[in-house]
Amino acid sequence: MPAYLCSACGLQFPPADAPPARCPVCDEARQYVPPGGQSWTSLEALQPKHRNAFQLLEPDLYGIGTVPEFAIGQRALLIRRPEGNILWDCVALLDQATIDLIRGLGGIGAIAISHPHYYTTMVEWSRAFGGVPIHLHEADRDFAVRPDPAIRFWSGDRLDLGAGATMIRTGGHFAGSSVLHWAAGAGGQGALLTGDTIQVVADRRWVGFMYSYPNLIPLPPAAVAAIRDAVEPVAFDRLYGAFWHSIVAGDAKEAVRRSAARYIAAVAGDL
Ligand SMILES: [Zn+2]
Ligand SMILES: [Zn+2]
């Protein structure tokens, strides 16, 4: 039985004889069912047509993204550290080359995911590296459609992953939307890995905040202020969003502050 996955977002379902009736990630206001309708594929069907590209973004931080692009087109991040590597977010394609290359980098000790758009084939990734824990915020539990003993739902506003890696729940894009603070990143000045929770925009000195990016649905000002305030206590100079180009290379904390201020002024008609 194939474990069907959604062609539009990469979300994988438990093995079944027939594809699911709908994808809960796509069939709601933050995402969309493509004009041609919902379609399904499988990891086995993807593997011959795609591969994963790796890029060293800074010492001990690798981007991993699929080419040609598949579904939403995000890239994941692998933090390499002696205490155990962390995979931040996920991509649907997993193949033997990816497993071999990551093993060469020390494997994966834990998987942490910002929000349901990047759940994809997280269970396959966990199993490929020995059933490592997958940390998801419990507020988004309904989107985790493939149950697995490796999934650990966390609650509250912070989860300590050890050795200076901390998940911080900001909310906003999703109720459980989280970022990962990596204290050792950016040469020890700190890096913030943000998924779609804080999105790097075209002018890479700035970031944006949306309930839905493809459908252009904004967040209320209070939610944007809450995101800004949630990351205020941690030090970071660099910020990595969910895509290859999504990097605020320096002074990133100030970029979050001024971007939140610009957003709040804009929705008040005060640009
Ligand atoms: Zn989907
Ligand atoms: Zn998203």
Torsion of CA 181, 187, 189, 192, to 10 degrees: -30
Q: How far is the CA of 117 from the centre of ligand 2 (A)?
A: 5
As a whole number, mean pLDDT of residues 160-183 equals 98
CA-CA distance, 192 to 251, in Å (whole number)?
11
The topology under which CATH files domain 5-152+159-267 is Metallo-beta-lactamase; Chain A (3.60.15)
CA-CA distance, 230 to 180, in Å (whole number)?
12
The three-point CA angle 134-139-144 to 5° equals: 50
**For residue 271, what pLDDT is reported?**
82
- 170 neighbors 177 (Cβ within 8 angstroms): yes
As a whole number, mean pLDDT of residues 232-240 equals 98
Mean pLDDT (the chain) is: 97
Q: How far is the CA of 82 from the centre of ligand 2 (A)?
A: 30
CA-CA distance, 222 to 75, in Å (whole number)?
29
For the chain, what are the domain ranges?
A: 5-152+159-267
Q: How far is the CA of 115 from the centre of ligand 2 (A)?
A: 7
Q: How confident is the model at residue 228 (pLDDT cuts 50, 70, 90)?
A: very high
- 129 neighbors 82 (Cβ within 8 angstroms): no
Structural tokens at position 112 = 């942490």
Question: Does position 59 have pLDDT exceeding 90, yes or no?
Answer: yes
Sign of CA dihedral 108, 111, 117, 119: positive
Ligand nearest the Cα atom of residue 214:
2
Q: How far is the CA of 38 from the centre of ligand 1 (A)?
A: 8
Q: Could you tell me what percent of the chain has a pLDDT over 70? A: 100
Question: Does position 193 have pLDDT exceeding 90, yes or no?
Answer: yes
Q: Could you tell me what percent of the chain has a pLDDT over 90? A: 99
**For residue 86, what pLDDT is reported?**
99
CA nearest neighbour of 45 among 93, 111, 113, 81? 93
Ligand nearest the Cα atom of residue 116:
2
Q: Are strands 238-241 and 217-218 parallel, antiparallel or unpaired?
A: unpaired
- Angstrom distances, CA of residue 138 to CA of 48, 73, 144, 194, 196: 35, 25, 10, 18, 18
As a whole number, mean pLDDT of residues 21-41 equals 95
The torsion angles phi and psi of 244, rounded to 5 degrees, stand at -55, -40
Question: Does position 164 have pLDDT exceeding 90, yes or no?
Answer: yes
Ligand nearest the Cα atom of residue 26:
1
Q: How confident is the model at residue 268 (pLDDT cuts 50, 70, 90)?
A: very high
Q: How far is the CA of 239 from the centre of ligand 2 (A)?
A: 16
CA 85 to chain centre: 16
- 100 neighbors 206 (Cβ within 8 angstroms): no
Structural tokens at position 6 = 């959604």
Q: How confident is the model at residue 237 (pLDDT cuts 50, 70, 90)?
A: very high
Ligand nearest the Cα atom of residue 13:
1
Q: How confident is the model at residue 34 (pLDDT cuts 50, 70, 90)?
A: very high
